[in-house]
Amino acid sequence: LPSFGFLSSSNLVLNYASVVKGFELWRLFTCFFVYGLGLPFLMNMVFLYRYSTSVERGTFAGRTGDYVWMLLFSSLILILIGFWWPFSTLGKSLILVIVYYWSRTNPNA
């Protein structure tokens, strides 16, 4: 939505002062979905589709709840890491978590 001018990305990124003092809890969720349009966005969506479906159909076959739990736990860890490092968008980091997990479960691919 920020790319189309509907919202300002400064209202969506992770800002801990706004979360704690302003009680803007949506920032804990929306920081994973702030992207600009272009080739990097397209490549991240390809990675997300390719590796996320592979992990869900392979390692977590028939256990979608476990896969969602892994994503939620990884998101929580990324947000906690963001307390020490100033990460304002975490979408790429979550995609890297999925790619890393896929690479560890498929070492010979």
| Residue scoring higher pLDDT (102 or 13) | 102
37-64 pLDDT tens trace:
788 889 989 999 999 999 999 989 999 9
Joined together, the tokens standing for residue 109 give 């691919």
Which residue from 30, 37, 36, 74 is spatially nearest to 52, judged by alpha carbons?
Answer: 74
6-38 pLDDT tens trace:
677 777 778 888 888 999 888 888 888 877 778
**DSSP letters of 14-50?**
--HHHHHTS--TTHHHHTTS---SSHHHHHHHHHHHH
Cα distance between residue 56 and residue 54, in whole Å: 6
65-98 pLDDT tens trace:
999 999 999 999 998 888 788 888 888 899 999 9
